[in-house]
Amino acid sequence: MATKRDYYEVLGVQKNASQDEIKKAYRKMAKECHPDLHPDDKTAEARFKELNEANEVLSDPDKRARYDRFGHEDPMQGAGGGYGGFGGGFDFGGFGGMGGMGDIFDQLFGGGYGGAQRRNAPMQGNDLRYDLRISFEEAAFGCEKSFEFTRDEHCETCHGTGAKPGTQPQTCPTCKGSGQVRVGGGFMVTVRTCSTCGGSGKIIQEKCSSCGGSGKQRKRRTATVKVPAGIDNGQTIVMNGQGEPGRNGGPAGDLYIQISVRPHKLFKREGTNLYLDLPISFTQAALGADIDVPTLDGKKTSFHIPEGTQTGTEFRLKGQGVQQLRSTYRGDMILRVNVEIPRRLSDKQKELLKEFDMASTGKEYEGRRNFLDKLKDLFN
């Protein structure tokens, strides 16, 4: 069995870290390796699961105290030792907590997983996604792009309260501001969302005319993002705090920029290397030649094709590829030679080729000679 890493090490925090520091570290790391951003990436999935398990323990004062005392061998965690709860601590609701599973436990056991306290606590706003399409060169060398997107924002008239200016939302008389009501008695008590206030704990007597009481308005905004050199198709840039505003005083969400790179007419990219299919003539391949080769910089560089070059031969130009993301290293450009056989020959060209063939001794064709030798061995 693999040894579990220390939970503080997993989250990258000190053992005396505050709950706020633990929360911030978890959110930052969990977003970077979230499975939605890394589909079919088993490493990212395992990392995300490890982060959730560490956060489940360290964000709970009681579990954290036991972990500080016993480590992964807490006797209260059963014969198997360790922590994890449901499936190793996976966060069923994404970043926001237990999600639907938590709601079920809230209803059955009176809010044991947060209940009304979680509903009325500060919550981060929704994250947004924007698909940004850039050119091959912009991805290779970096660029700065401006774009427009829409998001919900706090109403400018009521400042997000949903109430008419000059008035304030009132505490719900049914749930006393908790957002929940208890139903039943004795052993079986269930907790349900308050139907009067819809779980908000507040009642708006006079709604804001601008937002209709929602406290939100749809706005179109312009943002500018710096695209780093070396970014590749499908990668994501995160703009912190550019998502939708939080609730109950919580921080704004983030804006995820999904990068889409247009194909190049000549080059193909694999990591930091560029590949260029280079057609050359039969004569250039046979006799050798100096040719001009295009580069991604928009300049040409001279390259010598050696005598006797065959189709499929690859040549490497060091440092002519793509810059590695967040590094000064630059990959190579690989030239893949394709010897083109001429078509629609004139009568004179055909005669010259026949003369060439008649003058051949067979030693010029090493591959053909080896093939004929093997053929003889096979049938003799």
Rounded CA separation 226/153 (Å): 24
Each residue's pLDDT tens digit, 274-329? 999 999 999 999 999 999 999 999 899 999 999 999 999 999 999 999 999 888 99
Rounded CA separation 232/244 (Å): 27
Judge whether 239 and 221 are in contact, CB under 8 Å: no
Report the percent of the chain where pLDDT is more than 70: 84
Q: What is the pTM of this model?
A: 0.61
Q: What mean pLDDT do residues 140-161 have? A: 94
Rounded CA separation 272/345 (Å): 41
pLDDT at 310: 93
Q: What mean pLDDT do residues 91-97 have? A: 36
The CA radius of gyration of the chain, in Å to the nearest whole number, is 33
Instruction: Please choose, from the candidates 232, 270, 11, 254, the residue with its C-alpha nearest in 3D space to the C-alpha of residue 139.
Output: 232
**The two three-digit tokens of residue 135, written as one number:** 């050119």
Judge whether 297 and 239 are in contact, CB under 8 Å: no
* Residue 278: strand pairing partners: 337
Torsion sign, CA atoms 64, 70, 71, 72: negative
- Tell me the C-alpha to C-alpha distance, in Å, between residue 131 and each of 178, 261, 270: 39, 11, 22
Q: Which secondary-structure segment (H or E) carries 354?
A: helix 347-359
Rounded CA separation 17/64 (Å): 11
pLDDT at 368: 67
Residues whose CB is less than 8 angstroms from the CB of residue 78 and which lie 6 or more positions away in sequence, other chains included: none
**The two three-digit tokens of residue 30, written as one number:** 């969990």
| 202, pLDDT greater than 90 | no
Rounded CA separation 85/98 (Å): 12
- Looking at per-residue confidence, does 83 or 189 come out higher? 189
Which strands form 236-239's sheet, in the order they lie side by side?
128-134, 255-261, 236-239
Instruction: Please choose, from the candidates 116, 321, 349, 318, the residue with its C-alpha nearest in 3D space to the C-alpha of residue 230.
Output: 321
Each residue's pLDDT tens digit, 203-238? 999 999 999 998 899 999 999 999 999 999 999 999
Q: Which secondary-structure segment (H or E) carries 237?
A: strand 236-239
pLDDT at 377: 75
Torsion sign, CA atoms 167, 178, 98, 190: negative
In order of their start, the domains of the chain are 1-91 (1.10.287.110), 102-121+171-203 (no CATH), 123-169+207-262 (2.60.260.20), 267-379 (2.60.260.20)
Task: Report the half-sphere exposure of 65 (CA within 13 A, side-chain side).
Answer: 2
